[in-house]
Chain A
Amino acid sequence: MATEAHGAEDGGLVFHPMDQFIVKPLFGNGDVGAFTITNVTLWMALTVVCIIVLLVFGTSRRAIVPSRSQSIAEMMYGFVYKMVEDVTGKDGVKYFPYIMTLFMFILVSNFLGLLPMAFTTTSHIAVTGVLAMMVFLAVTILGFVKNGAGFLGLFWVSSAPLALRPILALIEVISYFVRPVSHSIRLAGNMMAGHAVIKVFAGFAAIAAISPLSVLAITAMYGLEILVSGIQAYVFAILTCVYLKDALHPSH
């Protein structure tokens, strides 16, 4: 796929670590329009299929003593449910389906992206940016709807000395608006960097002397990436919970 995009090269090392992230139409070579069926479409559809298989078909028997797939689905459910309940409290539980949706989408996308030749949808800032902005907007609107102007108390640190409060408020406001940026770039950056590094190591494998080391490095990176995939999905979800808690209970 890499050589296709760049044309054949005359020997030597071939590094195209970023080619794996190119969005391209699945059928034909036309431009990428809004509704063009692209590799993004394919891998997001696979994400949906995986989630349905795991959470819907996996639990179709509704067994009291769960099968393997059912216990995985129950584990996911219990994990996210407990996280939402612990972080946001009882009144945050009604937002559990939204957080579960985000968590499952990111988790499954991350893991699907680890398949060889796969396209990692969550490595794109467009995707994670939309996810983060959705969380940011939802949380901000919810905060004002639930607390009215009291939501601004989030920026007014009442426990600090009065002289410091305006400065702290400024810092709080900046940090509040930086949230979606860090929220999205953290996920996209983690996914992109790991995949790119693996590709770079793979490029080195062309040199016979280095290839054993390269394979070893790829293996190690792959293990790390599996860890990162799970952790980043967890981090995204728990930060969403934290922001949600701020919206529901803005007082520090």
Chain B
Amino acid sequence: MATETGEVVKESAGMPQLDFSTFDNQIVWLLITLVVIYFVLSRVALPRIGSVLAERAGTITNDIAAAEDLKQQAIDAEAAYEKALIDARAEAGRIVGETKAAIQVDLDKAIAKADAEIAARAAEGEKAIAAIRDSAATSAATVAKDIAKDIVSAVAPGKIDAKSITAAVTAKMKG
């Protein structure tokens, strides 16, 4: 180290930091550098980064608001769906009741009509039966008269007229 001493002294006691001859150079370049950095930062970089950060914060806030909105919409939609379901059930119940009532009315009407028809048919049938009975009775009388005539003519031919036989048979049948 001893051999160096001479040269070290020449370089201002070994501390380049204390070599005042370079100060003006350093200060000039430092000021230029700082001015350049300041203008680059204040004109371009910082406004840009600031706007990006603000934009991001805005986007995030908007997204959160939108998500909140959508959630509310979903809740509303669910409520509406539930309500629609309940309404539909009630409506269905009402319709079933109405239909039942309508069917009951129709049914009652149909039953009444059927009853009336049955009654009418029964009456008709009875009438027909009565007619048949009457005609049967008339036929029996005719047959009885014919047979009586035949018998009379067979027993005493040409003696007794048909009229009196008929009257006699009629009287007999009434009796």
| Chain A residues engaging chain B, CB cutoff 8 angstroms | 5-7, 9, 15, 18-19, 21-23, 31-36, 38, 40-41, 44-45, 47-48, 51-52, 55-56, 59, 62-64, 66, 70, 73-74, 77-78, 96-98, 100-102, 104-105, 121, 123-127, 130-131, 134, 188, 192
Contact = CB atoms under 8 A, between A and B. Distances in A.
Interface of B: 1, 3-4, 7, 11, 14-19, 21-34, 36-38, 40-42, 44-46, 48-53, 55-56, 59
A56 B40 contact: yes
Nearest to A104: B37
B17 A97 contact: no
Contacts of A100: 41, 46
A192 B38 contact: no
Contact of A32 (B22, B40, B46): B22
Contact of B30 (A19, A31, A127): A127
Given A40-B25, A62-B52, 4 more contacts: A18-B15, A34-B24, A64-B52, A101-B42
Given A55-B49, A74-B49, A101-B37, A18 B16 contact: yes
Contact of A18 (B14, B21, B25, B51): B14
Contacts of B59: 64
A158 B46 CA distance: 40
A134 B37 CA distance: 15
Nearest to B52: A62
A97 B41 CA distance: 7
Given A62-B52, A77-B49, A192-B17, A34 B28 contact: yes
A51 B50 CA distance: 16
A123 B19 CA distance: 13
Nearest to B56: A64
Contacts of A59: 45, 48-49, 52
Nearest to B38: A101
B99 to A, nearest CB: 61
Sorted nearest first, the 7 A-B pairs with minimum C-beta distance are A55-B45, A23-B22, A21-B16, A44-B33, A97-B42, A126-B26, A34-B24
Given A22-B11, A34-B24, A130-B27, A101 B41 contact: yes
Contacts of B50: 77
Given A48-B36, A77-B49, A77-B50, A36 B26 contact: no
B10 to A, nearest CB: 10
Contacts of A21: 15-17
Contacts of A15: 1
Nearest to A7: B7
